[in-house]
Amino acid sequence: MTVHFWCTKNDLSTFGAVSAVREIVSFDPATREELGRVLAADAAEVERKVASLGKELPAPPLEERVALVRRAAASLRAQAASLAELMTREQGKPLRESRAEVDNAADRLDYFCGTAPRALAPIEETLPAFRSATRFRPIGVVAAIKPWNFPVGIPLWTIGPALLAGNAVLFKPSERTPLLGQRIYEIFREAPIEIVHGADETGRAIVRSNVDMISFVGSQAVGKEIMRESAPRLRRLTLELGGKDPMIVCADADLDAAVAGAVAATFKNCGQVCCGVQRIYVEKPLFGSFLAGVVERTKKLKVGNGLDPATDVGPMNREEQIETVERHLRDAAAKGARIVTGGRALGGLFFEPTVIAGIREEMLLAQEETFGPVMPVTAVADDEEAVRLANATDFGLTATVWTRDLERADRIARRLQAGTIGVNQTVGSVVQCPWGGVKRSGIGRMLGPEAAREFADVVNYRLPRAQ
């Protein structure tokens, strides 16, 4: 029986098979080898686990919660090599990217442990009529519904701060990376946490359950569904719903730096990155040199199994990702765009890193999240045109500006509609900085020094002034 998996990074997709006992099968995207199986949870199991987590409260003291999360960080480091290998085999990215993700995840947990005591500390003030005390209380049961493209890093954005804030956590990893999800659960097993595996049915059961908050990273389509189902009870949400992130390259930009940044930000994780560069607007005097530079670098990238140390670009994660890339490229070519290099499937789930020139607003490549190894490059006349095109989507996660004139960069950046904007640098999530989108890229913020507050109710107490 084939099923449609819910909460994939792109819109609803099909993958794998579920047996009569509701098994989800994990595959290596590079080899198609079966890696293992997990049982999918039905609605009744979701309800049981939510009810059991609700009984875990009240939370232990903050110092105990900090110690628990620090132990989890230490466990991540101790298992880093095996977790990275499993990530490459189950998700597909090159091994060095997998190892960096695991190491970074452990560092982020330590950061949350260091900042949570300050973020959650009571705020007290004596006012003319009374004493004000603001305290941060746990919300309850937080559901973490997370994607497959960063299957260790992104779940911990929620699990770490939510536990530190005193909540219990119901964790649904992506059905595409269930074995990694199970490993994360084992690392946090002494915490008030439960795991449920599954796709459409399981995801919808979570949203319809009595969880008190949902933290979701995935597609706009699923994010809207979560909002609709959560509206009757005004449930707390954080939603990160992807991007169509622009890069603006001015004529006075450092050409080598801009070219290197474009290639790195486009083809990392085979382009399966929410904040990856998906549209590049280059001022006309630099366009020819920039295009030649990115084509030269792109042609040198090696596509292959992520376990091979020489691999730069691994496989795409599933067939649906390849289908989206091919559909976007066909649409663009039919409307006048020109593929400069790449553009071909290489067999299996491998796809050539692709550079395509002459993208216009009406093309799918300019509007929909491609989530693949495609770099659209377009010439623009001036800053005005670049900003207009950069803002001409429903997305608003990240953007970058490249110019030697920092005052000009500031003028452009202030007009861009994005949650994070970089100047002369690529951008990704950094634990010290708030992370989230504007427009339809989501609501709420994760990371940053006050990350734990996102998972707490803010309660103000007004007390008599001391006599």
> What is the pLDDT at residue 280?
98
* Contact yes or no for 6/165 (Cβ under 8 A): no
Cα–Cα distance for residue pair 22/18, rounded to 1 Å: 5
Q: 340 pLDDT band (50/70/90 cuts)?
A: very high
Domain ranges of the chain: 4-242+440-460, 245-394+398-431
Per-residue pLDDT tens for 132-159? Answer: 999 999 999 999 999 999 999 999 999 9
* Contact yes or no for 398/275 (Cβ under 8 A): yes
Fold for 4-242+440-460, please state it: Aldehyde Dehydrogenase; Chain A, domain 1 (3.40.605)
Per-residue pLDDT tens for 183-235? Answer: 999 999 999 999 999 998 999 999 999 999 999 999 999 999 999 999 999 99
> What is the pLDDT at residue 40?
96
Q: Which residues are catalytic?
A: 240, 274
Cα–Cα distance for residue pair 175/40, rounded to 1 Å: 9
Compute the 3-state secondary structure of the chain and give helix, strand, coil in percent, each to the nearest 5: 40, 20, 40
The DSSP result for 75-92, as a single string, is HHHHTHHHHHHHHHHHT-
Which residues contact residue 8 at a Cβ distance below 8 angstroms, ignoring those fewer than 6 apart? 15, 147, 148, 174, 175, 176, 218, 219, 320
CA distances from 452 to 145, 169, 275 (A): 17, 13, 23
Q: 6 pLDDT band (50/70/90 cuts)?
A: very low
Q: 18 pLDDT band (50/70/90 cuts)?
A: very low
Q: 57 pLDDT band (50/70/90 cuts)?
A: low
Per-residue pLDDT tens for 425-465? Answer: 999 999 999 999 999 999 999 999 999 999 999 999 999 98
Which residues contact residue 303 at a Cβ distance below 8 angstroms, ignoring those fewer than 6 apart? 311, 312, 313, 314, 346, 350, 351, 352, 353
> What is the pLDDT at residue 10?
32
Q: 58 pLDDT band (50/70/90 cuts)?
A: confident
Which residues contact residue 121 at a Cβ distance below 8 angstroms, ignoring those fewer than 6 apart? none
Residue 262 CB coordination number (10 Å):
26
Fold for 245-394+398-431, please state it: Aldehyde Dehydrogenase; Chain A, domain 2 (3.40.309)
The pTM assigned to this predicted structure is 0.93
Of the listed ranges 51-60, 288-297, 368-377, the least confidently predicted one is: 51-60
Cα–Cα distance for residue pair 299/286, rounded to 1 Å: 20
